[in-house]
Structure 1
Amino acid sequence: MINRILVLSAHTDDGELGCGATINKWINEGKEVHYLAFSAAEESVPSSFPKEELRKEVLESTSTLGIARENVQVLKYPVRRFSEYRQEILEHLIKVRNDLQPDLILVPSPRDIHQDHQVISNEGVRAFKLYSILAYELPWNNLSFHNQCYSLIKEENLDIKYKALQCYKTQKHRAYFDKDFIYSLANMRGVLINSDYAECFEIIRWIL
């Protein structure tokens, strides 16, 4: 039984973008979801906002999805430089593994070309190699994606995902925050399994 789920997000917003509707579905089902982001990307925050703004936005966003405040942690690794801190990241993940003992871990796709996402995907798999692991979809970063696993979601879950993403005022200029894109991707994935909406995952490891 999957009851405790850990979402690894390289930067604040990655987890919501990749699987926000599924997170909301799981929480509605009574599952315990934990969210660990490794950077609030202070260097990338638009100059019109305070550098710490993403730390506030991620708490609003994850709360909108239904994640308990005490289950959200945001670390301070510098954006686009995660490769310099691989061992520290791995050691932190091992500590989280030992403390939390999750049933399922979600990571960025191994085919994600963003340098920070690659580190979190690789070190996440390394730390949790004895656990079930799914990789979420961020299509603007994925040169390819193996759509092996589908999460059926309802429109109400998708609405909550979009509402959560709207908390990121600093990111609203990005094309992948567009409502049409978010809903059309979920609809396209749903069509592939004869459903209205779905979110898609790659299976890294699945333990029955």
Structure 2
Amino acid sequence: MKISEKQRILVLAPHTDDAEFGCGGTINKFVNEGHEVYCVAFSACERSVLDKFPGDILRTEVKRATKRLGIKPENLILLDYMVRTMNYHRQEILDDLIKFRKEINPNIVFIPSLTDIHQDHKTVAEEGLRAFKFSTVLQYEMPWNNLTFTTSTFVMLDEENVKAKVEALAEYESQAHRNYANENFIRSLATTRGVQINTEYAECFDILRWIIT
């Protein structure tokens, strides 16, 4: 099934690279199809950046990465929450999300999985569902953080989408030391999800809400 009408799509990323890891190929696909895609990154993780990089390096990298995916610069929203403390700021995060709900009024919202064990991811997922319970809401996977994940929805990708995801994540030089931040893993996961639906590449999601108009 192809989404025929143009949609307003919002991706919630607790940290600056989460959108690219969780649904970078899907973002590129939707942008190419003419949908309006927005991304909110809640933290640039200054406290987690290696000493050899500037503290604000992720703010520079996320701008380059989302541009690779096709997101308009004005559709990237960077917030200033401190990494690993979002569970202490639930109300502020919910207030921000309600503001974005009014300003963007998205049809489809992508959030981390509710089974994600990272405290920031879980907080954004829970508050995201609370704020956007009247929208279609899909959870994206991050296998290194998900205790369980139900592969209930798939987005078919082509080589162009996967290449855009790989190139976007390559912009994060400050994160290259992580064992999942490499082209082999990214392509392997896309291939695995593709095999599940008999296509070359895919990304998968778990439905929380699916609203049909």
Q: Which TM-score applies when normalising by structure 2?
A: 0.97
For the residue of structure 2 that corresponds to 1:176, the secondary structure is coil
Displacement, 1:178? 1.5
Q: Size of the alignment, in residue pairs?
A: 208
* Alpha-carbon distance in 1 for matches of 2:172, 2:6: 29
- How far apart, CA to CA, are the structure 2 residues paired with 1:53 and 1:94? 28
Where in structure 2 are the equivalents of 1:28-177 lying within 5 Å? 28-177=32-181
Aligned 8 A contact 1:83 1:115 in 2: yes
3-state DSSP of counterpart to 1:177? coil
Identical counterparts, % of pairs: 52
Q: Is the 8 A contact 2:15 2:44 kept in 1?
A: yes
* Counterpart residue number, 1:22: 26
For residues 16-69 of structure 1, the C-alpha deviation after alignment (integer angstroms, 9 at most, x for no partner) is 000001100001001100000000000001100110100000000000100000
User: Is there any run of 5+ residues in structure 2 with no aligned partner, and where?
Assistant: none
**Which residue in the other structure is 2:8 paired with?**
4
Aligned structure 1 segments of 4 or more residues deviating by more than 6 angstroms: none
Q: Distance in 2 between matches of 1:180 and 1:2?
A: 33
Contact 1:190–1:198 (CA under 8 A) maintained in structure 2: yes
Shift of 1:3: 1.1
Written as runs of structure 1 = structure 2, the 5 A alignment for 1:190-205 is 190-205=194-209
Contact 1:2 1:104 in 2 (8 A): no
Shift of 1:2: 5.0
* Residue 177 of structure 2 corresponds to residue 187 of structure 1: no
DSSP 3-state at the match of 2:34: coil
Structure 1 residues 86 and 50: alpha-carbon distance in aligned structure 2, compared to 1, 3 A threshold: same
Farther off after superposition, 24-33 or 1-10: 1-10
